[in-house]
Amino acid sequence: MALSKMDIPPRAQHFLECDIEECEKNCEFYCNNCHLGLCKQCKGEHLKSPKKKNHEVVLYQQRKRQLPVEKCDIHPTKDVDMLCEECQVAVCSKCATLADHRRHIFIDLETVYAEKYKVFQEDISKIHEYFLPTSKTLKKEIKKDSSEIKQVMDTIRTSMKTEGETLKSLVDTVISDNLRQLDQIEYSLLEDLKSQDRTVDDYITYLNNLLKELHRYLSPTEHKKLMSEKKPEIQPIPETTKPVTPGFTACQYTKSDVAKLLGKTHIPNTKGEKREITCETMESVYNPAVKSAYKQMKENRKKSDKKQTMSLSASVTKVREFRVPGVDDVQHISLDQSDRLWISDDEGNLVQTDLQGNEIQKIETSGRREGYHTVTGDRNLIFADQYKNVINRITQDNKITEFIRTGDWAPISIHSSHINGDLLVGMVTDEEAKVARYNKSRKKLQKIQRDNTGQGLYSTPRYITENINGDICTSDFSKKAVVVVNKSGRHRFSYTGQGSMFFPYGICTDVLGHILVCDGHFVNNTVHLLDQDGQFLSLLLTQKQGVGCPCSVCVDDENNLYVGQQIFNRLKVYKY
């Protein structure tokens, strides 16, 4: 079916012909009265007619729409051509004379229709020119964003799988190292037992020979020798030692612990930006919110990586070294104030010095190779006496008073909390070990002894410190591990070094929550740097920096790192 001129869509590109018969010129004008399309020439002829000279002839684009013919329901011979403005009802000319519409105002229905038509036609044009193209553009952008989302998710999945495989490989390596270490320990213990066994065999042979000799003296023919010879002395039974078998502390990992190792998906903390809708362009060029969000994620990741790199790039520079008078070696260091230190050796000597190594005072104690002294926030020295099972306090006027009695437990390590002033004390008996917390009023607040499976956390907690998050970090020499619990006493992790041999001594933390621990083994000679979750970051100090058997370490507020050594009475200071 052919379209009439009135049916042609407003956005269609077309050429109209004049409606006058036999005229094939292009239509440029429109007579709103006759509803005819006219060319320029026919327009002139049309207005020359006396009957049509007052017709409204306009440009074709400004034409009024012809009112469709509709018969009146009341007067079937009449066309509906008026609108009662008051009743808003379309009527014919005869209806206008009825009593129902008396004194009402009537409007030409064709004018109303033309105005309505124009409004709707404008909406149609808007839909075609703006709303539809823009919606289609958004649809393309959504499809593009969906593709980007899939690519990002695939990348994350690949990273997750890679992390998992890396963790599996590390677990296999650690287990292999642990088994190799266990084999070495077993071989050493069995060799020792074989040696003892040979010694006992030799002694039994000696006893059998001695028996024969003694029996010979009892023979009647040897009675003269029995009377004259001196009785042989029986050599004592050779000493043997029962082997100390190693223990194994199983780490109780939860699903959340493993999740922390593997990382997690980060969801942006901001809402997605609203999509930009504009009528200035119909091009499919748009910076979608999803792309913006993932761009932000990448920036956050770069910042995170940069922060991690900063922590990994921690370095030390030696700034000075001085001899500590009155001690044979440097087993433990307590910071007193900005220009004073308390330093102890393995002979019980506890000396206060300035930063040039000048002795200020000296105390004889029962301490040995432990972190048994600390300085409180009000600058009182606290030190433990493991033979009397007491903790003493030395005030600034040098008065020594008994501060806390620990009963059957021998205190071997102590630390004054910088968070709340509590005292954290590592204690032992012949069979058990624990960490206790006391407040400033000497009231016992907490006992930390076992994990959630009932296994003992500690064996010999020689050194103890507290991290900025409240974690209690203990260097346990017998367990060959750094044991860390949270402030409520729940076991968080144990760090056992980077190789088969790890002998933890002095321990401290810095202002960023890093953990520094000495490995005093004569082969290793290192200071390990960990983050506050126990992840190994680097070997902060090694033999290359001239460190030999480090056993004490501390960091002051100005990032000065103090390191003491087992075999020297010299203290080394580094800028950390």
DSSP codes joined into one string, 464-524? EEE-TTS-EEEEETTTTEEEEE-TTS-EEEEE--SSS---EEEEEE-TTS-EEEEE--TTT
Residues 174 and 217 in one domain: yes
Residues 320 and 455 in one domain: yes
Residues 301 and 322 in one domain: no
pLDDT tens, 297-343?
Answer: 345 434 444 433 333 345 788 888 888 988 988 999 999 876 799 99
Residues 360 and 505 in one domain: yes
Residues 343 and 276 in one domain: no
Residues 326 and 253 in one domain: no
Instruction: Establish if 299 belongs to a structural domain.
Output: yes
Residues 345 and 474 in one domain: yes
Q: Where are the alpha helices (DSSP H) in 218-288?
A: 223-228, 255-262
End-of-domain residue from the set 272, 287, 311: 311
Give me 557's structure tokens. 């507020």
Instruction: Establish if 175 belongs to a structural domain.
Output: yes
What is the total count of domains within the chain?
3
Q: What is the DSSP track for 418-477?
A: TTT--EEEEEE-SS-EEEEEE-TT--EEEEE-B-TTS-BS-S-EEEEEE-TTS-EEEEET
Q: What is the CATH number of the domain that holds 406?
A: 2.120.10.30
Q: What is the DSSP track for 327-396?
A: -SS--EEEEEETTEEEEE-TTSEEEEEETT--EEEEEE-S--SS--EEE-TT--EEEEETTTTEEEEE-T
pLDDT at 413: 96
End-of-domain residue from the set 311, 345, 361: 311
Of 491, 417, 418, nearest in space to 454 by CA: 491
- What residues of the chain score a pLDDT lower than 50? 1-14, 279-298, 300-313
Please tell me the distance from the alpha carbon of residue 449 to that of residue 434, in angstroms, as a whole number. 5
Residues 301 and 380 in one domain: no
Q: What is the CATH number of the domain that holds 37?
A: 3.30.160
Instruction: Establish if 102 belongs to a structural domain.
Output: no
Residues 441 and 568 in one domain: yes
Instruction: Establish if 529 belongs to a structural domain.
Output: yes
Beta bridge partners of 83: 90, 107
Residues 304 and 422 in one domain: no
Instruction: Establish if 80 belongs to a structural domain.
Output: no
Residue ranges making up the domain that contains 31: 1-63
Helix axis angle, 132-217 relative to 255-262, nearest 10°?
110
Instruction: Establish if 427 belongs to a structural domain.
Output: yes
Residues 304 and 322 in one domain: no
End-of-domain residue from the set 63, 91, 117: 63
Instruction: Establish if 93 belongs to a structural domain.
Output: no
Of 10, 17, 28, nearest in space to 117 by CA: 10
Instruction: Establish if 132 belongs to a structural domain.
Output: no
pLDDT at 306: 41
pLDDT at 318: 87
pLDDT tens, 68-104?
Answer: 788 888 888 888 888 898 888 888 888 888 888 888 8
pLDDT at 269: 60
- C-beta of residue 144 within 8 angstroms of C-beta of residue 288: yes
pLDDT at 399: 84
- Using CA atoms of 358, 362, 367, 370 in order, give the dihedral in degrees to the nearest 10: -20
Residues 546 and 473 in one domain: yes
